[in-house]
Structure 1
């Protein structure tokens, strides 16, 4: 199957709505997983895979591909939904999520799942890998780009900020990172657990070009991606304000849905809200 491309924000929004149903399907079937953070970044993922990046569903390791790293690897149901829809693997796999012997692990693992660039089970480790990939592409004189999504909870990890120093030092203008700022983590409000604010100012201080957007507004997401391509001599950081559990009213802004699967009644309510 060839890569699906979408141009209009209306089509992108419709695709994201449909894929939210696939996110819920996975965690419901498994009765395990992380719906809240998957729903917060899926609009960004749709913009990347259906509009911005060049990928090859029939040839995932094609060197002409752009690279994507999901640093908040527990939010992989969103990536799996996208990869299945793009044709990297059969959609039937989604119903096996987190169920032995599945190829769709609870945290993204590249040796199991076609289209997953690197394994990101431990929080904080995805961004450093994205930086390394970007350096490698620079050494190869490749024009391919690297995209990464980091979470605000994992940004309490020191390794994130080591990578944040490294990328500007190496002038990685082939690296574009989205900070998925939904404000919540498994233990509650990020500000109360370990405050990371002011986030945009921190990234600027580390030497990144920074843009702030609404992470659910496709017009703003696409404009930010176009802006990132104009950044030269430094990496680009897009601070995306998002809503944990976006698209399902009773999950939105609720830390309790960080890592809890819906039971049948909640699943049916959620699907009704996401119906065409």
Structure 2
């Protein structure tokens, strides 16, 4: 897909995400809205994937380390053909395989179970290292939240990736400046991220993570070292009353708010 098509798809995913969270009465809509442009670019432009063969050995790997934003991943996977789109209506319902955190044993296209923060990047480092050991040419991508980067396990993984020369690994940090309950700056402010990653031996690109053209260019880059994309995003992006509001980490819109958000997301379609 080209940039305009990707932007249109991202808006469709945002609308479906809003509907799914509203109908389920639960979810993590703020961090989903900030990450959807990145997910869209990955699945509809960057990743080498095979929806009819989810475990194809030559596929690129993507790990959603911020697993609480699973609903956005499910919708993206459905749009890409990994599961039926009408299954999204079962999100969080009893017996559904679309749980609040992604499960690789149940959902095709999910590479590993995530939820406890700080686990996805270490797993992704293992995937990238496995490719090096086996001579495979697949790439591994992983998305973390910026609050999640406070976890020490991530920095151990970052050191390992540099040590092993994993030029087939791309880390995307969804830097929306908010985590559960507070702003990043008021919790354990690890910003700025760029000099820290560079000090650990990584290449770093900083972008507007809600500008599709910048997202695509950064994700398609491949250098000689592990690559980190610091994606400056807005929590609740695309919905005026949600944007940059910490309470929308896992708040659910009421009927009136839902209608307002739906209208705002429909304006550009």
TM-score (norm 1): 0.95
CA–CA distance in 2 between the matches of 1:155 and 1:84? 28
**Cα offset for 1:167?**
0.5
Matched, 1:197 2:196: no
Q: 2:167 aligns with which of 164, 169, 173?
A: 173
1:85–1:91 Cα contact (<8 Å) kept:
yes
Residue equivalent to 2:242: 251
**Cα offset for 1:226?**
2.9
Q: 2:148 aligns with which of 141, 151, 154?
A: 154
Matched, 1:40 2:34: yes
**Cα offset for 1:225?**
2.2
**Cα offset for 1:187?**
1.3
Matched, 1:61 2:52: no
Q: Secondary structure at the match of 1:237?
A: strand
Alignment of structure 1 residues 6-17 onto 2, 5 Å: 6=1, 8-17=2-11
Q: 2:123 aligns with which of 109, 123, 129?
A: 129
CA–CA distance in 1 between the matches of 2:12 and 2:130? 35
1:174–1:235 Cα contact (<8 Å) kept:
yes
Matched, 1:218 2:209: no
CA–CA distance in 2 between the matches of 1:247 and 1:103? 28
CA–CA distance in 2 between the matches of 1:41 and 1:160? 19
Q: Secondary structure at the match of 2:187?
A: helix
1:29–1:96 Cα contact (<8 Å) kept:
no
Q: 2:102 aligns with which of 101, 108, 112?
A: 108
- Stretches of 4+ aligned residues off by more than 3 angstroms: none
Matched residue pairs, number? 267
Q: 1:91 aligns with which of 82, 85, 93?
A: 85
Cα RMSD of the aligned pairs, angstroms, is 0.9
Q: Secondary structure at the match of 2:228?
A: strand
Q: Secondary structure at the match of 1:20?
A: helix
1:68–1:146 Cα contact (<8 Å) kept:
yes
Cα deviations by residue, 1:186-237 (Å, 9 ceiling, x for unpaired): 111101011112211111111110011100111111221232x2x11x2000
CA–CA distance in 1 between the matches of 2:16 and 2:125? 30
1:19–1:78 Cα contact (<8 Å) kept:
yes
Residue equivalent to 1:241: 232
Residue equivalent to 2:264: 273
CA–CA distance in 2 between the matches of 1:70 and 1:17? 20
CA–CA distance in 1 between the matches of 2:104 and 2:219? 25
